Amino acid sequence: MSNKIDIKHLEVGKPKEWAAGVPAVLSAFGNIVNKAGVVEGGKLLSQLNQIKGFDCPGCAWPDPLAKRATFEFCENGAKAVADEATTERVTADFFARNSIAQLKQQSDRWLNEQGRLVEPMILNPGASHYVAISWDKALDLIAKQLQELDSANQAAFYTSGRTSNEAAFLYQLFVRQFGTNNLPDCSNMCHESSGVGLGETIGVGKGTVSLEDLEQAEAIFIFGQNPGSNHPRMLSSLQAAKRQGAKIVAINPLDETGLKRFKNPQEVSGVIGQGTALRDLYLPIKINGDVAFLKGLCKELIERDEQGQGVLDKHFIEQYCYGYEAFKHDILSTSWLDIEQHSGLSRRQIHQAADIACQSHKTICCWAMGMTQHKNAVANIQLMTNFLMLQGNLGKAGAGVCPVRGHSNVQGDRTMGIWEKPSASLLDALEAHYQFTVPREHGFDAVETVRAMQEGKVKVFFAMGGNFYRAMPDHSATEPALAQCKLSVQVSTKLNRSHLYTGKMALILPALGRTEIDRQHSGIQTVTVENSMGVVQTSHGKIPPASSKLKSEITIVAELARRVLPHSKVDWLAMRDDYRLIRDGIAKVISGFENFNQRIEQLGEFVLPNAVRDKRQFNTSTQKANFVVHAINDTQLPAGQLLMMTIRSHDQFNTTVYTDNDRYRGIHGSRKVLFANEEDIAELGFKVGEEVNIQSHWPNDVLTVRQVRGFTLVPYNIPRGNTAAYYPETNDLIPLGSVADKSNTPAYKSVVISLQSSQKVK
Ligand SMILES: Nc1nc2c(c(=O)[nH]1)N[C@H]1C(S)=C(S)[C@@H](COP(=O)(O)OP(=O)(O)OC[C@H]3O[C@@H](n4cnc5c(=O)[nH]c(N)nc54)[C@H](O)[C@@H]3O)O[C@H]1N2
Ligand SMILES: Nc1nc2c(c(=O)[nH]1)N[C@H]1C(S)=C(S)[C@@H](COP(=O)(O)OP(=O)(O)OC[C@H]3O[C@@H](n4cnc5c(=O)[nH]c(N)nc54)[C@H](O)[C@@H]3O)O[C@H]1N2
Ligand code: SF4
Ligand SMILES: [Mo]
């Protein structure tokens, strides 16, 4: 494959054969020293993920329980810390110099590089610039706008996943006492399909494995995940598992570097040696071919069992499962032709995967966005779970489901009640403890929130972190929807595009970040988070705040709640002054958090109960683990069309772009690339390195042309008919209505596209 592209700023090299090692260490230290300085940077890295330190604001990968290494972080954790601890500042002067129109011309990367937001700002109706406003005036104004609404349901309260448990709990308490369940969150765009899929099959919307399980597993199937970039310390756990003899299968349209070979920067051999080969089998599945593959895998297992090979765990199926006969019938009547055609994998490849499953007594499935962001994402999750159930791989050591979460506290936020579809038990507990009538009607999720704005049903949009405008699909829908709102509010640490595409009036409320010391009346405060494996742990900020005008998210919620709900019996300000009081409330309302304060004071961390893991108990409609029948989805497209997945580079955290490079995939200097199979490039009449416009196609689309321009064609080892491009530059191609069944998650990874030469259109 010729990889010689060097146009404008873009340089394309060969994808890397191993991950981490010395380049990762250099990048980690380089980043933090450049952005935060030697002294603060060093202090931060020494406290990152330590017991009395602070929790990494990067991803939700867990830390080992109790014992920690001196450096318990990865390159991308260091980048996330450096990005927050930057010494650059976005002041009122900055906003005076830069109009909204000018800022809109800047890239996401440039916006983020301007530094930390340091004082509250307001964009008045019709104004061209943000101007400074005092905290009191800003909060009074929001309170007035909320009180003036005809109904509480005319406001929506978004949450991104960095918010602590305490802030999330207080926030949902305020929102529900205000009177709505309109609590969309980034989960709606992320692992919602996992929650929905697992809820129906095993009765718990979370993973069922611990780090120890992962290291003890005999087989690990990794679906649609790129841990080398997005959960880098997962590679250490995979290495540990390999050393114990585990076999690893990677199911991914891209042969991601991090799953090939890992040089552990914590070990001498990782610095100077060859590293550890991780995956034993790589399956180059077609995008969205997982339902077909999983049905093939289950078919292999069931057929081998029928032939007397004793593959299935009959006892588990009989005692703990429901619906096996119908499932078996469906699987056996699925044809190999369909399976091969729609998965893009050969029967031989599926046979090899089945060999690994059959040799294992303890199998884990890990997955991330490659499974959750498709129309049939819920089917993906359910079939993966069903595959595990066939061999009894739930509720036993070394086995289970492992949805690998994104944001560092996205799982905790849900546990705390950030959910537009709260369970009746949560609402009952809130009502009993806080003595107010809770709203019972379900609220809007992220996509529904945009629709409600379009229809004038939501008039105030309040975001606790994140970059809603940029992270959502379809800016042609989101922009006018937000513009119709009377008010939009962003509680933020860094400047982003959601500060530029706003309601008629907009506010920026600058918040303390995870790394910063949070001092309140009762002293320095501690917060808690829950990682991807259900472990709750403390986090203590370590460096002085970026500005004396920052408020903690908790303070912002408490001071707003007191204004909006003057008759509330909740003592908001007492909780603001002492976060232990919030934890006392959590202990009363959320199960698993009994004696919350005592436990974290004594232990620093604890593991939440999990009925499946702990007791093989399945709290589903049937009280059993459910087998579910799903049809194979069609992955064939008409000639001239390609399927595109939108993915993350190694140098971004969601919408925060650190650099224009993607080291492991060999990309330097530009993010406007489309990875495609070289044969497709030729067949469609294009040349490698040519600049193209990308148009998307969706049968129900309201727009006649949906297009992004000027992307360079990069040949890549990807199945025929498939392409990949970076998020968020391509989000405009995804119509708001293109979502997963049941979970309503945007189908960010199933975008049907065609290409046009950018020369011809100009
Ligand atoms: N450094 C860094 N860390 C992060 C983030 C970040 O942006 N940067 N984001 C955080 C967040 S919020 C999240 S949700 C996670 C995301 O973590 P990932 O899910 O690993 O991130 P993506 O880049 O979206 O990668 C999806 C992977 O799925 C594969 N894939 C796409 N479609 C399919 C498919 O149909 N089938 C299969 N089998 N595979 C497919 C892609 O090739 C890619 O390897 O990472 C978290 N951690
Ligand atoms: N095309 C495409 N789109 C996608 C995805 C995809 O794979 N493809 N992935 C989706 C996924 S998985 C997710 S999770 C969403 C992410 O959606 P979001 O969570 O909304 O977006 P982020 O980019 O993580 O938000 C970054 C902003 O959060 C703010 N921030 C950072 N830390 C803090 C903090 O501690 N407190 C406060 N108050 N603010 C803070 C900063 O201002 C920063 O600019 O994007 C989704 N969008
Ligand atoms: S793996 Fe995730 S949580 Fe751990 S240090 Fe890296 S970015 Fe932070
Ligand atoms: Mo995510």
CATH code, domain with 515: 3.40.50.740
Assigned domain for 479 exists: yes
Look at residues 344, 371, 403 and tell me which one is the last residue of a structural domain.
403
Assigned domain for 544 exists: yes
Look at residues 563, 594, 625 and tell me which one is the last residue of a structural domain.
594
Say if residue 262 is in the same domain as residue 398. yes
Say if residue 656 is in the same domain as residue 572. no
Nearest CA to ligand 2 atom 4: 471
Say if residue 719 is in the same domain as residue 756. yes
Least confident stretch, 485-499, 545-559, 700-714:
700-714
Say if residue 535 is in the same domain as residue 667. no
Cα(435) to centroid(ligand 4), Å: 34
Span 582-610, average pLDDT: 96
Question: Treating both helix axes as pointing N-terminal to C-terminal, what angle do 424-434 and 165-178 enclose, rounded to 10 degrees?
Answer: 80
Q: How far is Cα 197 from Cα 203, in angstroms, rounded to an integer? A: 9
Banded model confidence at residue 42, pLDDT cuts 50, 70, 90 = confident
Assigned domain for 672 exists: yes
According to DSSP, residue 214 is labeled H
Banded model confidence at residue 66, pLDDT cuts 50, 70, 90 = low
Q: What is the pLDDT, as a whole number, of residue 166? A: 98
Least confident stretch, 388-392, 633-637, 676-680, 754-758:
633-637
Helix/strand/coil for 719: coil
Q: Is the dihedral of CA 106, 108, 111, 117 positive or negative?
A: positive
Look at residues 532, 567, 594 and tell me which one is the last residue of a structural domain.
594
Please tell me if the CB atom of residue 234 comes closer than 6 angstroms to any atom of ligand 1.
no
pLDDT at 537 over 90: yes
Please tell me if the CB atom of residue 557 comes closer than 6 angstroms to any atom of ligand 1.
no
Assigned domain for 242 exists: yes
Cα(466) to centroid(ligand 4), Å: 11
| Domain containing residue 396: CATH number | 3.40.228.10
Say if residue 215 is in the same domain as residue 347. yes
Residue 553: C-alpha distances to residues 155, 465, 493, 558, 655 (Å): 19, 9, 10, 9, 21
Banded model confidence at residue 668, pLDDT cuts 50, 70, 90 = very high
Overall domain count for the chain: 3
pLDDT at 3 over 70: no
* Residue 543: strand pairing partners: 516
**% of the chain residues with pLDDT over 90:** 89
Banded model confidence at residue 5, pLDDT cuts 50, 70, 90 = low
Say if residue 381 is in the same domain as residue 438. no
Q: How far is Cα 716 from Cα 727, in angstroms, rounded to an integer? A: 18
Q: What is the pLDDT, as a whole number, of residue 23? A: 87
For 218-260, write each residue's pLDDT tens digit. 999 999 999 999 999 999 999 999 999 999 999 999 999 999 9
Q: What is the pLDDT, as a whole number, of residue 624? A: 98
Please tell me if the CB atom of residue 58 comes closer than 6 angstroms to any atom of ligand 3.
yes
Cα(222) to centroid(ligand 1), Å: 11
For 158-203, write each residue's pLDDT tens digit. 999 999 999 999 999 999 999 999 999 999 999 999 999 999 999 9
Q: Is the dihedral of CA 420, 425, 426, 430 positive or negative?
A: positive
For 288-342, write each residue's pLDDT tens digit. 999 999 999 999 999 999 999 999 999 999 999 999 999 999 999 999 999 999 9
Say if residue 476 is in the same domain as residue 569. yes
Say if residue 212 is in the same domain as residue 270. yes
Nearest CA to ligand 1 atom 6: 653
Say if residue 486 is in the same domain as residue 546. yes
The closest ligand to the CA of 495 turns out to be 2
Comparing 760 with 345, the larger pLDDT belongs to 345
Please tell me if the CB atom of residue 226 comes closer than 6 angstroms to any atom of ligand 1.
yes
Helix/strand/coil for 246: coil
Q: What is the pLDDT, as a whole number, of residue 571? A: 97
Banded model confidence at residue 761, pLDDT cuts 50, 70, 90 = very low
Say if residue 242 is in the same domain as residue 379. yes
Q: Which atom of ligand 1 is nearest to the CA of 190?
A: 14
Say if residue 374 is in the same domain as residue 418. no
Cα(187) to centroid(ligand 4), Å: 7
pLDDT at 762 over 60: no
- Peptide bond before residue 473 is cis, with ω within 30 degrees of 0: no
The rounded mean pLDDT for the chain is 95
Span 411-436, average pLDDT: 97
Banded model confidence at residue 7, pLDDT cuts 50, 70, 90 = low
**Boundaries of domain holding 652:** 642-761
Say if residue 177 is in the same domain as residue 201. no
Q: What is the pLDDT, as a whole number, of residue 2? A: 41
